[in-house]
Amino acid sequence: MKKISVVLALALPLAAQVAKEANSQYKTAEGRQTVASNLSAPDRDDRQKPRDLVQAMGLQRGMAVADVGTGIGYMLPFLSRAVGPSGKVVAEDIFDDYLSAARQRVASQNLTNVTFVKGTEKDPNLPEGALDEVLVLDAYHHFDYPETMLAAIHKSLKPSGKLVIVEYYKNETAMPNGRALTHIRLNKPDVIKEIEANHFRLASEREQIKDVQYMLVLGKN
Protein backbone atom coordinates (compact mmCIF):
# COMPACT_ATOMS: atom_id res chain seq x y z
CA MET A 1 0.00 0.00 0.00
CA LYS A 2 2.86 2.34 0.87
CA LYS A 3 4.49 1.73 -2.53
CA ILE A 4 1.24 2.56 -4.32
CA SER A 5 0.96 5.83 -2.38
CA VAL A 6 4.49 6.80 -3.37
CA VAL A 7 3.82 6.03 -7.04
CA LEU A 8 0.62 8.10 -6.98
CA ALA A 9 2.42 10.99 -5.32
CA LEU A 10 5.08 10.94 -8.00
CA ALA A 11 2.49 10.75 -10.76
CA LEU A 12 0.41 13.70 -9.58
CA PRO A 13 2.70 16.41 -11.00
CA LEU A 14 2.39 14.82 -14.43
CA ALA A 15 -1.35 15.46 -14.44
CA ALA A 16 -1.04 19.04 -13.19
CA GLN A 17 -1.27 22.12 -15.36
CA VAL A 18 2.25 22.98 -16.46
CA ALA A 19 1.76 26.27 -18.33
CA LYS A 20 0.15 28.46 -15.67
CA GLU A 21 2.53 31.41 -16.12
CA ALA A 22 2.28 31.35 -19.91
CA ASN A 23 -1.51 31.23 -19.77
CA SER A 24 -2.16 33.83 -17.06
CA GLN A 25 -2.94 36.60 -19.56
CA TYR A 26 -5.54 34.47 -21.33
CA LYS A 27 -7.86 34.18 -18.34
CA THR A 28 -9.75 37.39 -19.14
CA ALA A 29 -11.19 38.87 -22.33
CA GLU A 30 -9.13 42.00 -21.74
CA GLY A 31 -5.94 39.97 -21.47
CA ARG A 32 -6.73 38.05 -24.64
CA GLN A 33 -7.44 41.31 -26.46
CA THR A 34 -4.01 42.60 -25.46
CA VAL A 35 -2.43 39.45 -26.85
CA ALA A 36 -4.52 39.75 -30.02
CA SER A 37 -3.21 43.27 -30.59
CA ASN A 38 0.35 41.94 -30.49
CA LEU A 39 -0.54 39.07 -32.82
CA SER A 40 -1.89 41.49 -35.41
CA ALA A 41 1.00 43.97 -35.26
CA PRO A 42 1.78 45.49 -38.70
CA ASP A 43 5.37 44.27 -38.62
CA ARG A 44 4.53 40.66 -37.77
CA ASP A 45 5.08 39.38 -41.31
CA ASP A 46 8.62 40.78 -41.24
CA ARG A 47 9.29 39.15 -37.89
CA GLN A 48 7.45 35.85 -38.32
CA LYS A 49 8.34 35.16 -41.97
CA PRO A 50 5.12 33.18 -42.61
CA ARG A 51 5.89 32.44 -46.26
CA ASP A 52 9.26 30.95 -45.33
CA LEU A 53 7.51 28.89 -42.67
CA VAL A 54 4.92 27.51 -45.07
CA GLN A 55 7.65 26.67 -47.58
CA ALA A 56 9.67 24.87 -44.91
CA MET A 57 6.59 22.85 -43.96
CA GLY A 58 6.53 21.42 -47.47
CA LEU A 59 2.80 21.89 -47.90
CA GLN A 60 1.39 20.88 -51.26
CA ARG A 61 -1.90 21.31 -53.09
CA GLY A 62 -4.60 19.02 -51.80
CA MET A 63 -3.07 18.50 -48.36
CA ALA A 64 -4.98 18.76 -45.09
CA VAL A 65 -3.34 20.84 -42.37
CA ALA A 66 -4.44 21.99 -38.91
CA ASP A 67 -3.44 25.18 -37.13
CA VAL A 68 -3.63 24.35 -33.42
CA GLY A 69 -3.98 27.47 -31.30
CA THR A 70 -4.85 29.55 -34.33
CA GLY A 71 -5.63 32.62 -32.22
CA ILE A 72 -6.79 35.42 -34.50
CA GLY A 73 -6.05 33.23 -37.53
CA TYR A 74 -2.81 34.92 -38.55
CA MET A 75 -1.48 31.87 -40.42
CA LEU A 76 -4.74 30.84 -42.07
CA PRO A 77 -4.38 32.82 -45.33
CA PHE A 78 -0.86 31.47 -45.84
CA LEU A 79 -1.88 27.87 -45.11
CA SER A 80 -5.03 28.18 -47.21
CA ARG A 81 -3.16 29.35 -50.28
CA ALA A 82 -0.46 26.72 -49.84
CA VAL A 83 -2.87 23.76 -49.95
CA GLY A 84 -5.14 25.34 -52.56
CA PRO A 85 -8.86 24.88 -53.24
CA SER A 86 -8.55 21.09 -53.17
CA GLY A 87 -6.83 21.19 -49.78
CA LYS A 88 -8.22 21.71 -46.30
CA VAL A 89 -7.24 23.86 -43.34
CA VAL A 90 -8.62 23.15 -39.87
CA ALA A 91 -8.33 26.12 -37.50
CA GLU A 92 -8.49 25.26 -33.80
CA ASP A 93 -8.60 27.33 -30.65
CA ILE A 94 -10.11 27.03 -27.19
CA PHE A 95 -11.39 30.62 -26.99
CA ASP A 96 -14.59 31.76 -28.70
CA ASP A 97 -13.37 35.34 -29.11
CA TYR A 98 -10.26 34.19 -30.96
CA LEU A 99 -12.27 31.86 -33.16
CA SER A 100 -14.62 34.73 -33.99
CA ALA A 101 -11.68 36.93 -35.00
CA ALA A 102 -10.22 34.11 -37.09
CA ARG A 103 -13.55 33.57 -38.85
CA GLN A 104 -13.68 37.26 -39.72
CA ARG A 105 -10.18 37.10 -41.18
CA VAL A 106 -11.11 34.08 -43.30
CA ALA A 107 -14.36 35.66 -44.49
CA SER A 108 -12.66 38.95 -45.38
CA GLN A 109 -10.24 37.09 -47.65
CA ASN A 110 -12.84 34.67 -49.04
CA LEU A 111 -10.91 31.58 -47.99
CA THR A 112 -13.26 28.71 -48.77
CA ASN A 113 -11.09 25.77 -47.65
CA VAL A 114 -10.90 26.66 -43.94
CA THR A 115 -13.07 25.05 -41.26
CA PHE A 116 -13.09 25.74 -37.53
CA VAL A 117 -13.16 23.56 -34.43
CA LYS A 118 -13.26 24.53 -30.78
CA GLY A 119 -10.82 22.53 -28.74
CA THR A 120 -10.19 22.16 -25.04
CA GLU A 121 -7.01 22.42 -23.01
CA LYS A 122 -6.71 18.63 -23.26
CA ASP A 123 -8.02 17.89 -26.76
CA PRO A 124 -7.96 19.98 -29.96
CA ASN A 125 -10.86 17.90 -31.34
CA LEU A 126 -9.20 17.34 -34.69
CA PRO A 127 -10.53 14.81 -37.23
CA GLU A 128 -9.01 11.39 -36.63
CA GLY A 129 -6.42 10.14 -39.13
CA ALA A 130 -7.23 12.93 -41.58
CA LEU A 131 -4.33 15.38 -41.45
CA ASP A 132 -1.07 15.57 -43.37
CA GLU A 133 0.40 18.17 -41.02
CA VAL A 134 -0.43 19.84 -37.73
CA LEU A 135 1.13 23.23 -37.06
CA VAL A 136 1.64 24.50 -33.51
CA LEU A 137 2.97 28.04 -33.89
CA ASP A 138 3.98 29.92 -30.73
CA ALA A 139 1.57 27.72 -28.80
CA TYR A 140 3.39 24.65 -27.49
CA HIS A 141 4.42 26.49 -24.33
CA HIS A 142 0.71 27.11 -23.70
CA PHE A 143 -0.12 23.39 -23.53
CA ASP A 144 -1.25 22.79 -19.95
CA TYR A 145 -1.52 19.05 -20.61
CA PRO A 146 1.13 18.25 -23.22
CA GLU A 147 0.83 14.47 -22.99
CA THR A 148 -2.90 14.39 -23.70
CA MET A 149 -2.62 17.08 -26.38
CA LEU A 150 0.18 15.20 -28.13
CA ALA A 151 -1.82 11.97 -27.99
CA ALA A 152 -4.78 13.70 -29.65
CA ILE A 153 -2.57 15.27 -32.32
CA HIS A 154 -0.91 11.91 -32.97
CA LYS A 155 -4.34 10.36 -33.51
CA SER A 156 -5.34 13.11 -35.96
CA LEU A 157 -2.37 12.58 -38.27
CA LYS A 158 -2.20 10.20 -41.20
CA PRO A 159 0.49 7.48 -40.90
CA SER A 160 2.91 9.70 -42.83
CA GLY A 161 1.71 12.89 -41.14
CA LYS A 162 3.96 15.46 -39.51
CA LEU A 163 3.78 17.61 -36.41
CA VAL A 164 5.39 21.03 -36.92
CA ILE A 165 6.36 22.98 -33.82
CA VAL A 166 7.51 26.60 -34.03
CA GLU A 167 8.56 27.72 -30.58
CA TYR A 168 10.54 30.42 -28.82
CA TYR A 169 13.96 29.72 -27.41
CA LYS A 170 14.07 29.86 -23.63
CA ASN A 171 16.71 32.57 -23.36
CA GLU A 172 17.10 36.24 -22.46
CA THR A 173 16.84 37.59 -26.00
CA ALA A 174 13.96 35.57 -27.51
CA MET A 175 11.33 37.90 -26.01
CA PRO A 176 11.49 41.51 -24.80
CA ASN A 177 12.77 42.10 -21.26
CA GLY A 178 13.97 38.52 -20.89
CA ARG A 179 10.34 37.36 -20.66
CA ALA A 180 11.05 34.03 -22.35
CA LEU A 181 12.94 32.83 -19.27
CA THR A 182 9.69 32.64 -17.31
CA HIS A 183 7.08 32.52 -20.09
CA ILE A 184 8.54 29.60 -22.04
CA ARG A 185 8.22 26.29 -20.22
CA LEU A 186 11.06 24.24 -21.74
CA ASN A 187 14.24 24.79 -23.70
CA LYS A 188 14.56 23.19 -27.13
CA PRO A 189 16.27 19.92 -26.09
CA ASP A 190 13.59 19.30 -23.47
CA VAL A 191 10.79 20.11 -25.92
CA ILE A 192 12.20 17.49 -28.29
CA LYS A 193 12.57 15.01 -25.45
CA GLU A 194 9.01 15.56 -24.24
CA ILE A 195 7.47 15.18 -27.70
CA GLU A 196 9.57 12.13 -28.61
CA ALA A 197 8.45 10.51 -25.35
CA ASN A 198 4.91 10.72 -26.70
CA HIS A 199 5.24 8.62 -29.85
CA PHE A 200 6.87 11.10 -32.21
CA ARG A 201 10.37 11.17 -33.71
CA LEU A 202 12.35 14.23 -34.74
CA ALA A 203 12.74 14.39 -38.53
CA SER A 204 14.35 17.82 -38.92
CA GLU A 205 14.95 21.12 -37.21
CA ARG A 206 15.84 24.63 -38.32
CA GLU A 207 16.12 28.16 -37.00
CA GLN A 208 12.95 30.01 -37.91
CA ILE A 209 13.93 33.43 -36.56
CA LYS A 210 17.57 33.83 -35.55
CA ASP A 211 18.00 33.60 -31.77
CA VAL A 212 14.22 33.92 -31.34
CA GLN A 213 12.36 30.88 -32.69
CA TYR A 214 13.14 27.39 -33.93
CA MET A 215 11.13 24.94 -36.00
CA LEU A 216 10.83 21.20 -35.36
CA VAL A 217 9.31 18.68 -37.76
CA LEU A 218 8.33 15.38 -36.17
CA GLY A 219 6.89 12.20 -37.66
CA LYS A 220 4.83 9.49 -35.98
CA ASN A 221 6.48 6.54 -34.28
Q: Name every residue whose Cβ is closer than 8 Å to that of residue 219 and which is 6 or more positions away in sequence.
A: 160, 161, 162, 163, 200, 201, 203
Each residue's pLDDT, cut to its tens digit, for the chain (221 residues) gives 444 443 334 443 445 567 666 766 677 777 787 776 666 677 777 788 999 999 999 999 999 999 999 999 999 999 999 999 999 999 999 999 999 999 999 999 999 999 999 999 999 999 999 999 999 999 999 999 999 999 999 999 999 999 999 999 999 888 888 888 888 999 999 999 999 999 999 999 999 999 999 999 999 99
The pLDDT assigned to 177 comes to 82
> Cβ–Cβ contacts within 10 Å for residue 40, how many?
14
Contact present, 139 and 169 (Cβ < 8 Å): no
The pLDDT assigned to 69 comes to 97
pTM comes to 0.86
Give the C-alpha separation, 119 to 6, whole Å: 34
The pLDDT assigned to 28 comes to 78
Q: Outline where DSSP puts E strands in the chain.
A: 64-68, 88-93, 114-118, 131-137, 157-168, 200-209, 213-220
The pLDDT assigned to 70 comes to 98
DSSP state of 173: S
Contact present, 104 and 72 (Cβ < 8 Å): no
> Cβ–Cβ contacts within 10 Å for residue 19, how many?
20
Contact present, 169 and 211 (Cβ < 8 Å): yes
In CATH terms, is domain 17-220 a member of 3.20.20.220?
A: no
Q: Which residues pair with 219 in a beta bridge?
A: 162, 201
